[in-house]
Structure 1
């Protein structure tokens, strides 16, 4: 391994999505961490609550153990007789808590939108379950009225209607159960291949109702964006070989390999070789230079996830992805393809600016991390979160690497000059500066392209890292506003990264939207810093600063609403004993005469439920009575209670009891607004 004299051959490539990651690492309540000085190698964040990285063998044992117990787990979760679980991923906290992510099948068919995460204590007790699909799964029929060929034809026409003419169905549709919208039904999933209009490979997943033939949903499986090249100076590479024969193979990082497509658009390409183990010359005219950037970006991203989050490899199994450079001709893009488990980079306009920049590499491989964990669907709000996650971790990798030529910043694609005027592709401190991205959440944000709806999470991450207002970091000036014009202090970038990664890997799922992302990050913050801690409250208030939820009482919000929220779902026993969920309130004085109690329960027959608010002194306020005439599902409602006789401070509880049998549900969460 030798130092390679590559200079500017990176690029900002496909800044595409994955679920945003905020991590909390140093101490609760800390202010923004000081920016590392350029030239300081690997100024790494404090480990905080980070466990020792799981070795591939340790992770493998956890997965095997969980796999052997899937039948028992399904029974404990009261899944239906035709429902089965498949282990997808396992992570473990420093305190021994394990988080096991499962995919679900019904009558042998994959259930899209049926994933769930079981959180167990060190002793093996179930602490909580994260699952968007709450009730037992029922599907009206397993007999399709639409033929597979008809479904494939409709899928191709759907792709062509979007302007993608060079498309074809890659393989026969597979029969699935579609449950992502809460209405399980038999469906076909067709993957439409070929090429998109700009030359990017196409992998459009089209979901078709197997009974009616109607298109239910579609999303793009190739996750891509736009980028440019940047300089990283001389870097150390992991290579293999000896004498006069070396290959760009990094056996120290899972066997990552870098291939030359030589302007082709298919296949793996040719593995880069060299006679003296000195690669590239820092110019895009030398084919090795782009390979240096891609290999270096892969190495730094591997090291970042391993050393900061304890994850060895994109899937956590110690196996590397691979990289392909020189894709197509004048291809101004880069993309992650989960089907080949690889990153691919174009050479930019005129083949003069390879899209192999460091933050692009981190961005692309983070798509793989998202796919291996939450699996955020690349459409709507979940797609924006997916894209923002890649922006967030690409930024984190850039700060982690901390080269003198490219110190960390909160600008995406700042070196590519894709706009022709020296401006970056995206801004995290105020996303709308790019002319299209959203600074704040609104009901229409999910209708934006995922690269623009990502602005809400990107803005959240910047604010959580650095706080609001004007400041200079590594020579770049930022000035970040808030939706409610109230300041937020930030908890430091290292902490923000840990919050986001924990939320992504342990609490988010395929259909997570911005409201659910807020809940996921609050659960992560509660795990890391404690519920109600200064850092926990800052996470909540930072979401409010981008118009997702309300502020909580952190001592900086005089005169405004004080919102206290529960963390962790509680299963409601079918026809069993009452369950309670606590919230600790630190608000001074008396409770208001219009105390708002917001309840989120999923239940297949809400008429079975009795709901009470219990004050700290034991007084009970009835919110809902049982009713045999109310056969609707779920309770998602805000009640108003005159609690003016009560002191506000103390532990309030929501008590829920299912009085009758045959229907089940979960208290997902609740909150008090003072």
Structure 2
């Protein structure tokens, strides 16, 4: 009998708090305040922990990590993006997204691994042995510039990075070998490395013939051949703003008797020290000058009418485009901050700006990552390009660039564009409801990109039925990666609409999907707020630059499970919404199991992970398993209560698990609740989670939790164990408590799904 020095009343209070936390999830901010960038020792420590995992699989001198960015996670957590390196060079599209707690312990790791010899999908590819280039960086830049803008001039300094570039092939999984092409699902295929090339990743931001020509080009570092190339300017071509919003409040700054469109309450630093709207005053789109911040003698701005081409950009008519821009930018900032806790574009509250009146009668608006800003044209065929959804769209490109940085081609490029469409629609819904509050309203947006700004009334994209534009598909197919990214975004846009609003079972409507074959035929949506939280969490904490549709489904599902629980209606809705676009299998809404298995397309490797069968499958201090008074289960009635003794003690739980050699993913998740009686901000009690070899050697320390991590309710933790495919490993939970004051580590719903 293990004594638990824990008050029943306290546990009841914790249980009530947990239920309250779950019930109010939709009103909580998802992300924390700006974070401090890791010090060199902290960064080195994280790299060392990640490298320890690789040491068991290959020569440690060949593989390492480079920390590329850090952003806030949920309260007390930090998101770090670690690029994979091989022989000192970055491997393009290969990286890990690491979520850590306040003490530096790893909570979750989301990985896209394309490294030579380590990638599970690169076994047949020959690693590079010669990493010495023939071309110089200047040579590579010249090749890229000549191929894209031979008569152009560099608007921003070009760059060329020497790296390892994996050339990918899309192949069928063995289970889909006999399927006709027309019946393939996104989860029937996978990207595998065909071979590696030493290459330069060249970024050119040029101007030619009065237009911006922004490209990313991959150049073979030995021969100078162009391996890959894609447009890098993130635009919404042919959109405009019809001054649809009427009279709106805008935040300005007064200096003496002069007012200026500078909002110092939204963002810090940046070019202007706060969020600003400037007057580009018809400077060329090929080399735009943002100009100066808008000023006025009174605090009443604009006339609410479309700009008259050739007129003043500073009188009331010229100010209207700036009013549109400022109102849109304020609502974009507020929607992400008030609802999600995400501040400005990078999460660290760095201010941005929008320049109005770029070029003359310019039918475009674009986000430029070089300045992390946006330029808006006045329109000609269209109205002024400053509508709320267009601004939300372009600023969402900035969020993506600061986080997942999805490569702007193929399926990842479609997801990049879809993320911006999603952001634009959610900002529109927030703004239409008054631009206040801590949740995204269920209604208010029109699910059509650019409708308000179109003189014909026809939007650029219909999110609920992408094929209405006659170019965007409604569902995934193997040809999706060959489309322009504005069209390959279509299926994911439809997925998000279904996730939020649900579908229709009537095949004659535009809200029907033939891929929804389970019950009910019309899937149930979960609303804008929850759908946006799930999507944003996946984007910022799990997506990598090479994420495709199948990978996105897996990571959006994991985010739903972490936010709302395994088997929750929200997790089920994600599976159904992706099934509706031919990504993954459909499932019944009632009684679906979830559990990270993707609706039955995965294999559960943990025996008795919910502890409902007592000690079956587990070894160690199995007396911690039960339905003890003083704690509650995450699901069912039983759980494992490690700690809670208030005296010196060590308790362990272990299970041996064999991960199939043919696995393409192996996702470990568990629910963990921590409470403590410790009152000082000092580490006294610990729970360490490791993966060990069959001989007992620690292969990796997945996470370390302490009394400092105590929080109300359970939290879902997730890890990638695919590096151990083909091995029999031991999953180990070891708790150590000091001599006084209890800390409880309550474990439930341990799951390892292999696909």
TM-score in same-fold range (> 0.5): yes
Write the distance in 2 (CA, Å) between the matches of 1:430 and 1:480. Answer: 7
TM-score (norm: length of structure 2) = 0.65
Alignment of 1:340-359 (within 5 A): 340-349=371-380, 353-359=383-389
Report whether the alignment pairs 1:412 with 2:449.
yes
Match of 2:278 in 1: 259
Offset at 1:330?
1.6
Write the distance in 2 (CA, Å) between the matches of 1:492 and 1:343. Answer: 29
Offset at 1:259?
0.9
Report whether the alignment pairs 1:436 with 2:471.
yes
Match of 2:715 in 1: none
* 1:241-271: CA deviation from partner (whole Å, max 9, x where unpaired): 2442111100010111111111112222122
Offset at 1:169?
9.3
Report whether the alignment pairs 1:521 with 2:556.
yes
Offset at 1:66?
4.5
* 1:98-134: CA deviation from partner (whole Å, max 9, x where unpaired): 4322234555544432321123456644344212126
Larger Rg: 2
Write the distance in 2 (CA, Å) between the matches of 1:172 and 1:621. Answer: 50
Report whether the alignment pairs 1:239 with 2:252.
yes
Offset at 1:273?
0.6
Write the distance in 1 (CA, Å) between the matches of 2:607 and 2:336. Answer: 34
Report whether the alignment pairs 1:564 with 2:581.
no
CA RMSD of superposed structures (Å): 4.1
Match of 1:386 in 2: 416
Q: Using a 3 Å threshold, how does the CA distance of structure 1 residues 417 and 497 change in structure 2: closer, same or farther?
A: same
Match of 1:67 in 2: 43
Offset at 1:467?
0.3
Alignment of 1:50-449 (within 5 A): 50-51=28-29, 54-56=32-34, 59-60=35-36, 66-67=42-43, 69-78=45-54, 80-81=60-61, 83-94=64-75, 96=76, 98-105=78-85, 109-120=89-100, 124-133=104-113, 139-159=128-148, 166=152, 171=157, 173-179=159-165, 181=167, 182=193, 183-195=195-207, 199-226=210-237, 227-230=239-242, 231-254=244-267, 255-265=274-284, 266-283=288-305, 284-285=307-308, 286-349=317-380, 353-402=383-432, 407-417=444-454, 420=456, 422-449=457-484
Q: Using a 3 Å threshold, how does the CA distance of structure 1 residues 566 and 319 change in structure 2: closer, same or farther?
A: farther
Match of 2:181 in 1: none
Write the distance in 2 (CA, Å) between the matches of 1:334 and 1:239. Answer: 23
Offset at 1:64?
7.2
Write the distance in 2 (CA, Å) between the matches of 1:438 and 1:291. Answer: 35
Q: Using a 3 Å threshold, how does the CA distance of structure 1 residues 523 and 27 change in structure 2: closer, same or farther?
A: farther
Conserved 8 A contact 1:518-1:543: yes
Q: Using a 3 Å threshold, how does the CA distance of structure 1 residues 417 and 122 change in structure 2: closer, same or farther?
A: same
Match of 1:463 in 2: 498
Alignment of 1:612-651 (within 5 A): 635-636=663-664
- Which has the larger displacement, 336-345 or 126-135? 126-135
Write the distance in 2 (CA, Å) between the matches of 1:85 and 1:581. Answer: 37
SS at match of 1:131: strand
Offset at 1:564?
2.9
Write the distance in 2 (CA, Å) between the matches of 1:225 and 1:269. Answer: 22
- Which has the larger displacement, 504-513 or 284-293? 284-293
Conserved 8 A contact 1:374-1:510: yes
Offset at 1:282?
0.8
* 1:122-161: CA deviation from partner (whole Å, max 9, x where unpaired): 664434421212657764222112344443343234325x
Conserved 8 A contact 1:565-1:671: no
Q: Using a 3 Å threshold, how does the CA distance of structure 1 residues 27 and 288 change in structure 2: closer, same or farther?
A: farther
Write the distance in 2 (CA, Å) between the matches of 1:427 and 1:582. Answer: 46
Structure 1: 5+ residue stretches without partners: 1-25, 31-45, 472-476, 569-578, 587-619, 626-633, 639-654
Q: Using a 3 Å threshold, how does the CA distance of structure 1 residues 339 and 583 change in structure 2: closer, same or farther?
A: farther
Conserved 8 A contact 1:522-1:567: no
Conserved 8 A contact 1:134-1:665: no
- Which has the larger displacement, 175-184 or 322-331? 175-184
Conserved 8 A contact 1:171-1:190: no
Write the distance in 1 (CA, Å) between the matches of 2:610 and 2:531. Answer: 24
- Which has the larger displacement, 139-148 or 477-486? 477-486
SS at match of 1:195: strand
- Which has the larger displacement, 491-500 or 107-116? 107-116
Write the distance in 1 (CA, Å) between the matches of 2:611 and 2:464. Answer: 32
Offset at 1:566?
6.3
TM-score (norm: length of structure 1) = 0.72
Offset at 1:544?
0.5
- Between the two structures, name the one with larger relative contact order (CA 8 Å, sep ≥ 6): 1
Write the distance in 2 (CA, Å) between the matches of 1:523 and 1:269. Answer: 45
How many residue pairs align between the two structures?
Answer: 551
Write the distance in 2 (CA, Å) between the matches of 1:240 and 1:78. Answer: 53
Q: Using a 3 Å threshold, how does the CA distance of structure 1 residues 547 and 423 change in structure 2: closer, same or farther?
A: same
Write the distance in 1 (CA, Å) between the matches of 2:360 and 2:219. Answer: 35
Offset at 1:337?
0.6
* 1:269-318: CA deviation from partner (whole Å, max 9, x where unpaired): 12211011211111224111101111111111110110111111111111
